[in-house]
Every structure is written in structure tokens, then in C-alpha cells.
């Protein structure tokens, strides 16, 4: 397959506006069109693999391997994309799929149609060579990850119902990046080994309405404001997940001088790491603690009338090792006001941490060696949620990594303006998945 053909195929995918958040306006046609275009672009995949539609938006392909008795591999991606703000100025129209200056441009190029394409490119090319994987391989593609992924949940439930425990699940997440942390040189393939649990709470208080000229000392609005203020960044304790210590250790060889000593020290002392990262704020702090941020405030009907009810919506990302219940308990203790009602609007448990000491992680690192030999494979903890979280209840080895190199500038285009992927990276991403599929372990001694 010629690499520009892959770019052409990705361009076709980008032209289909599979914007899950705009399903009501656009209707289901783009999602049906997408499934039809895949069938046209990947004829061998559609001939050789069993295909199921699971819910309206889930596509599950099964590639039968040489040994049906072995636990299968699940390669995941999603084909829905986030909306484009009409006021944003793109260099090339977001749904045109323009191929120019070595890139394929458009919404979804990196998140997540590019990563979906490299899976299919690898499988299609291996099929044309008559290759049979050592064990079953499933391709699981969801069409509503950006609107919280009911398709992926239904696919995961299908595996449970059939009593299938995947040996490895690989979904989007990290990527191959330059200088991932301060003082670290070179490239790293960042593989997500766990993810935080997203949660939304509503805090509300009732008060006596009445005229604003003689307010009581604690109005409903003030009660809610006080509760929000009490939920400061230090609300939750800082704790370093194993994956973060492993990440720091993984960067030791890519550092020099005093930086090397610092990374070595942090890798060996998780409690020190927790304190340092919490101090740094921003992303480092988010790696070691549950974050909490008020996102919406509401109350009141008129400028001179006391609101009888006020509320705040608070978004949390629950750290690994904590639970929905323990998080609510701590929020309640921190607010320390019985008259503030706390409702869980939605909440998901954080994932367990997948190991970096197993054959699965070693296989990912080996495949990175085939696609990005200059990169060191390093684990990390994801802040955002992916479709793969639905497999965590029963699959022991779940990782999040897209085998594409992305500069900081490119990463910023995800959910932003001028999203695009390098054509050369589509080639390398395909190489990663070919290597992974060719090296799947067979039964020992077989």
C-alpha cells in the first residue's frame, strides 16, 4: 500500500462529519456513511473478519487467530469527533480532509481517525500477505466516545457476556512526544497505564427569598459560594501512583547532570514526588491528586431579590486509588455545612493501574522499537477518560497509546484549531500495529 493512499483514505474519513455532540442536528447519516466507507476502503478486513454492529454506534470486528483457546487482543479507536467552533479560523476547512505540505488536515486527524486508520492499514496489509495472528484480534470502534461512550460500554459488556477476557486492550491516549518533562531530552512513547475517574457534583442550598435590602448573614448564594471556596486545590491528599514513579525512573537515562540525580531521587521517593508535584500545580499536580474545579454557578431571578436557591456544578477527576464514595465523603467533610446538599450527577471509578512488568507492556515497547526506534517507552497516568475504561472491570492489561509522534503544538490542535497529522506518521503508526500483530505470543511450547 502506498503511503499517499493511506493519506487519501484518511481524507475520506475526515470528510464525513461524525460529530457525536451534534447528532440531533446532523442525524445518524454520517455514522452510517462512515461504516460504509470503511467497507469500501478496507475490502479484505470486511471479507476476512466477522463484523458486528453493537448499538447504533459500535463496530466490532473479529479476526480469528491460529489458536482460539488464547485470550484475544482488543485494538480500540473511536470515529466520532468533537464539534468545530464556526468562529475559529482554520488554515484548511475542518471537514475537507485537505492533503497538503506533508499533512492530512481536518477534525479527527489525530483524535481519533488517524489512530483508527493505522490499525486498519496494518490489518488490511497483513491480510493481503496471508498472515494469521497467533490469537484472536478484535477491532473495537466506538462512534460516541466524545459523548461518554455508550457504544464502548456495550462492547465491553458483550465481552463479559461471552466470557472473553482480553489479554491486551490498547486504546488512544498517549503518543510519541518530544521532551515530555522538564530537563528530559529526546523522544518518549508515553503509554497510559491508568486513568482518573471523571465525576460531576452539584452543590445546592436553599434560603429564604425576599428583598435584597435586608439580607440575612448567610444567603443561599453565600452558602454555595463558601462551599466552593472551601474546595481549594489542597482538598485532596497528594499520592504518587506507581506509574508516575516508573515514568520518572524511565526518564533517568534521558537526563544529564543534576537533572539525572533529581529524577532518580523522585523515582525512588513517591512521597517526595507527591509533595513536589502538588506544589508545581497544573498537570504535575493533577497526576498525584484528585482535582476539583467549580465549572457552573447558578441562582437568582432578579438583581434585587435574594435567590431562594443557589447551586454550583463541580467537576472532579478522581485519582487512582480513590473511589467515588471516598471522594464524596471528603467533599462533604471539607464543605462542613449540613445545609449544602451534595448530589452526584455522574461519577466513574478511576481505573486500576496496568502493570509495566508484563509481556503486554514489553510487546508495546517492542512495537515502538519498530515504528519509532529513537523513542523510549515510558508509562504515565491519563487525566482524561477513554473508551477503554469500560474494559477495566475485567481486563488486567489495558493501555492507552496512539503510535503517532505529536509535537506539543500538534497536541494542542486536538479539540482545537488546525488539527492535522503527518503522512509520515501514518506510515510509522501502521508499522507499529503490524509489529504488534506479528509478535503476538502463541501458547508457550506451541
Catalytic residue numbers? Answer: 80, 145
Cα-based distances in Å from 153 to 32, 55, 57, 343? 20, 10, 11, 24
Identify whether the C-beta of residue 144 lies closer than 8 Å to the C-beta of residue 79.
no
For residue 346, give the C-alpha cell.
455522574
Starting from the edge strand earliest in sequence, which strands make up the sheet with 341-347, in order? 291-299, 309-318, 197-206, 341-347
Query: How many whole angstroms separate alpha carbon 102 and alpha carbon 166?
Result: 37
φ/ψ bin of 97: left (φ > 0), alpha (ψ from -120 to 50), beta (otherwise): left
DSSP type of residue 175: E
Query: How many whole angstroms separate alpha carbon 387 and alpha carbon 76?
Result: 8
Cα-based distances in Å from 59 to 41, 88, 162, 438? 15, 32, 17, 23
Name every residue whose Cβ is closer than 8 Å to that of residue 56 and which is 6 or more positions away in sequence.
Answer: 28, 31, 143, 151
Could you identify the residue written with the cell 512521597? 271
Total length of the chain:
446
Identify whether the C-beta of residue 22 lies closer than 8 Å to the C-beta of residue 144.
no
Query: How many whole angstroms separate alpha carbon 314 and alpha carbon 358?
Result: 38
Q: What share of the chain is helix, strand, coil (3-state, %, to 5)?
A: 40, 25, 35
Query: How many whole angstroms separate alpha carbon 87 and alpha carbon 201?
Result: 31
The distance from CA 226 to its chain's CA centroid, rounded to whole angstroms, is: 33
Identify whether the C-beta of residue 102 lies closer than 8 Å to the C-beta of residue 423.
yes
The distance from CA 52 to its chain's CA centroid, rounded to whole angstroms, is: 24
Could you identify the residue written with the cell 508535584? 277
Burial pattern 232-255, b for ≥16 Cβ within 10 A else e, equals: eeebbebbbbbbbbbbbbbbbebb
Helix-then-strand count for the chain, H and E: 15, 17
Could you identify the residue written with the cell 465523603? 329
Amino acid at each position: 500500500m502506498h503511503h499517499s493512499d493511506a493519506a487519501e483514505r484518511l481524507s475520506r474519513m475526515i470528510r464525513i462529519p461524525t460529530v457525536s455532540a451534534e447528532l440531533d442536528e446532523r442525524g445518524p447519516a454520517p455514522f452510517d456513511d462512515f461504516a460504509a466507507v470503511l467497507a469500501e476502503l478496507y475490502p479484505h478486513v470486511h471479507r476476512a473478519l466477522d463484523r458486528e454492529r453493537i448499538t447504533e454506534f459500535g463496530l466490532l470486528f473479529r479476526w480469528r487467530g491460529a489458536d482460539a483457546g488464547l485470550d484475544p487482543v482488543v485494538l480500540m479507536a473511536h470515529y466520532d469527533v468533537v464539534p468545530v467552533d464556526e468562529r475559529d479560523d482554520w488554515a484548511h476547512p475542518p471537514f475537507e480532509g485537505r492533503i497538503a505540505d506533508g499533512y492530512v488536515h481536518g477534525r479527527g486527524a489525530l483524535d481519533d481517525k488517524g489512530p483508527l486508520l493505522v490499525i486498519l492499514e496494518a490489518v488490511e496489509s497483513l491480510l493481503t500477505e496471508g498472515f494469521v495472528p497467533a490469537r484472536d484480534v478484535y477491532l473495537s470502534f466506538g462512534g460516541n466516545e466524545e459523548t461518554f461512550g455508550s457504544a464502548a460500554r456495550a462492547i465491553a459488556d458483550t465481552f463479559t457476556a461471552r466470557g472473553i477476557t482480553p489479554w491486551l486492550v490498547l486504546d488512544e491516549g498517549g503518543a510519541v512526544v518530544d521532551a515530555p518533562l522538564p530537563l528530559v531530552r529526546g523522544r518518549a512513547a508515553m503509554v497510559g497505564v491508568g486513568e482518573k475517574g471523571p465525576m460531576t457534583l452539584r452543590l445546592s442550598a436553599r434560603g429564604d427569598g425576599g428583598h435584597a435590602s435586608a439580607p440575612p448573614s448567610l444567603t443561599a448564594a453565600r452558602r454555595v459560594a463558601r462551599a466552593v471556596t472551601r474546595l481549594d486545590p489542597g482538598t485532596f491528599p497528594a499520592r504518587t501512583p506507581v506509574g508516575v514513579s516508573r515514568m520518572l525512573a524511565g526518564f533517568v537515562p534521558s537526563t544529564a547532570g543534576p537533572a539525572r540525580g533529581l529524577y532518580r531521587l523522585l523515582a525512588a521517593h513517591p512521597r517526595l514526588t507527591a509533595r513536589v508535584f502538588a506544589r508545581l500545580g497544573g498537570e504535575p499536580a493533577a497526576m498525584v491528586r484528585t482535582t476539583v474545579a467549580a465549572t457552573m454557578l447558578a441562582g437568582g431571578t432578579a438583581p434585587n431579590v435574594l435567590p431562594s436557591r443557589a447551586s454550583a456544578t463541580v467537576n472532579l477527576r478522581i485519582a487512582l486509588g480513590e473511589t467515588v464514595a471516598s471522594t464524596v465523603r471528603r467533599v462533604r467533610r471539607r464543605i462542613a455545612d449540613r445545609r449544602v446538599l451534595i448530589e452526584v450527577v455522574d461519577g466513574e471509578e478511576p481505573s486500576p493501574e496496568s502493570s509495566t512488568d508484563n509481556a503486554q507492556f514489553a510487546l508495546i515497547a517492542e512495537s515502538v522499537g519498530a515504528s519509532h526506534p529513537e523513542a523510549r517507552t515510558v508509562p504515565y497516568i491519563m487525566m482524561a477518560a477513554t473508551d477503554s475504561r469500560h474494559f477495566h472491570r475485567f481486563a488486567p492489561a489495558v493501555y492507552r497509546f496512539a503510535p503517532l509522534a505529536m509535537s506539543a503544538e500538534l497536541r494542542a490542535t486536538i479539540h482545537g484549531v488546525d488539527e492535522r497529522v503527518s503522512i509520515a506518521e501514518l506510515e510509522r503508526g501502521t508499522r507499529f500495529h503490524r509489529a504488534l500483530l506479528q509478535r503476538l505470543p502463541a501458547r508457550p511450547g506451541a
